[in-house]
Copies of this chain bind each other. A is one copy, B any other.
């Protein structure tokens, strides 16, 4: 067990050496900041996450929220952690100073939030949902709604949820049935049932603001008839304080295998009492609005998966340095002392795979956060648009890849621990359980794959893919020496095959319709994910090689070890991981129809 949540040195390297985050300081929005304020806020996040989140991570997993008399009881430490997070200004961290925010870049806020999720994913869920819901009101709400709900949310007095899923409509939002009937007083009456609503009830904040998808009576069928409503747990009185109870009630808690500290709720709207809802923006535009929140949440899920993976890696690394067991295979003397298990090559394999997955996933997600920054604040409008296009394309990858490989990393962390790994006396099995939600919630990875290959890749004549290729090209050209040259060559070849197969699939989509092509969408998602993460590793290797080259003589042993580790992890990714997409490429190229042609009654 280690205190380290995310290796600070790695984070500094990724933010500054690889992503040049300090260049954001040139932008007007961040004029009041400097490298010191960035570092100070990260330092605060790291410390607070350890002190107020990590302190009850295990207890909140063991002693999960309970449903008693229509209310939720939960550990008081969860509220203490939430309040500390809010009071430190993190909920409003990225918002305008005029809203009480710190006007921090997304990149820095993402890094900060990484510590909190690594420390305690269950408790982190509440502020994260709140900030995402708040952003929806900020962008699409009217002034009155912003006044009423946004500020208390940013201050942490109210929390937020996203209430999309219904018992019969999880992935298929087109089928939601919750209804909204207009009234003469301006509000709507909401009626229906929602399920799997994270944070839908809790004992943390004075009020809960549900962002609810519902249909106004008479709206068109399908996604074109969905509207977005604000549905508070308590209606506000004239002074803006929580007053009368609104007709949204907790039908029950769902018991998850991970993120157990975050309540997952079944909610009923308008069952026993009238449930007021306030329309956000225009009717029938709800799904479009909600997609802003969902895309943000998807990037957040990827980030969470990356850092939960990272946390498990830190634990297993500390364990492998400490735990002695066995000897080198060539040492036949049973009286020689046992060695730390990190001395066994197979243990190093499992640690190196974790390092390659998690530091790669972290790099991918930080890059995603940087794209948000560029989309929002790049001085050049073309660059802003380009960043948005690239972020759109990569969102399914950022959601899915870390969730799959972060969980795989946690699986390896358990394996490094051996028998201790599967016991609840040690911390890594919880990481693994927590992370297992991430390939599912906010859109299963199957949905992400369909989104990528069925839609994102073709938008604006595949401009996103073109932009990605251009970005990759820059780093391929910078990889001019030694091992990196080899790695660049294999990435380049893989990329070329991927582009070719993309064109073929595009043709097939036109000629044969979507079913036969999308049947193997999962392979395409893996392919693009591995290519992107290989590129992220090439960037890290380029930065590491540059540092090693520039500071050759005066390097400390610890510096040298850090950069050599980066190079070796990059080598692991290029030797052990990237080549595995040959299989995905082959299945895509020959349009393998095994799954497509499998008949339901053949199972």
Q: Are A348 and B423 in contact (CB under 8 A)?
A: no
**Docked-complex contact B515 and A446, CB < 8 angstroms:** no
A422 touches which of B256, B565, B575, B603 (Cβ 8 Å): B256
Interface status of A514 (Cβ within 8 A of chain B): yes
Please indicate which of the listed interface residues A221, A343, A603 has the most CB atoms of chain B within 10 Å of its own CB: A603
Among A91-99, A124-132, A322-330, A496-504, the stretch that binds chain B is A322-330
In the complex, A516→B601 CA distance in Å?
49
Does A522 lie at the interface of the complex (its beta carbon under 8 Å from any beta carbon of B)?
yes
CA distance A355 to B445 in the complex (A): 20
Does A345 count as interface, using CB distance less than 8 angstroms? yes
The proximity string for A residues 18-53 relative to B, scoring 1 for CB distances below 8 Å and 0 otherwise, is 000000000000000000000000000000000000
A345-B595, A595-B352 in contact; A329/B576 too (CB < 8 A)? no
How far, in Å, is A266 (CB) from chain B's closest CB?
Answer: 10
**A349 in contact (CB, < 8 A):** yes
Least CB separation from A167: chain B residue: B420
Q: How far is the CB of A172 from chain B (nearest CB, A)?
A: 4
> Interface readout for A419-443 with B: 1 if CB under 8 Å, 0 if not?
1011111000100110011011100
Q: Is A365 an interface residue (CB 8 A)?
A: no
Do B349 and A595 have beta carbons less than 8 Å apart?
Answer: yes
- Report if A17 contacts B (CB, 8 A): no
Contact of A583 among B340, B446, B580, B603 (CB under 8 A): B580
For the complex, give the distance between the alpha carbons of A508 and B422 in Å.
36
**Cβ contact within 8 Å between A515 and B330:** yes
For the residues of A in contact with B, the DSSP-based class is helix
Which residues of B have CB within 8 Å of A308? none
A454 to B583, CA, bound (A): 29
Is B345 touching A519 in the complex (CB atoms < 8 A)?
yes
Contact partner of A256 among B171, B324, B338, B424, CB < 8 A?
B424
When chains A and B are docked, how far (Å) is the Cα of A179 from the Cα of B432?
A: 38
Q: How distant is A568 from chain B, measured CB to nearest CB, in Å?
A: 5
Q: In whole angstroms, how far apart are the Cα atoms of A569 and B501 in the complex? A: 26
Q: Please measure, in the bound complex, the distance between the C-alpha atom of A565 and the C-alpha atom of B258, giving whole angstroms.
A: 35
B residues less than 8 Å from A172 (CB atoms) = 325-327, 338
Contact with B along A258-283 (1 / 0, CB 8 A): 10000010000000000000000000
| A196 surroundings in chain B (CB, below 8 A) | 419
Smallest Cβ distance from A167 to chain B, in angstroms?
10
Q: In the docked arrangement, what's the CA distance between A129 and B600, Å?
A: 39
The residue among A439, A597, A602 with the most chain B CB atoms within 10 A of its own CB is A602
Residues from chain B with a CB closer than 8 A to the CB of A601 are 557, 561
Task: Report if A329-B414 is in contact (Cβ < 8 Å); known contacts: A437-B422, A579-B586.
Answer: no
The answer to whether A174 touches B334, judged by C-beta atoms less than 8 angstroms apart, is yes
The residue from B317, B348, B419, B596 contacting A595, defined by CB atoms under 8 A apart: B348
Interface CB pairs A-B, < 8 A, 16: A171-B326, A222-B334, A256-B422, A264-B423, A342-B600, A343-B600, A348-B596, A349-B520, A352-B603, A415-B440, A415-B445, A418-B440, A421-B440, A561-B599, A561-B602, A572-B598
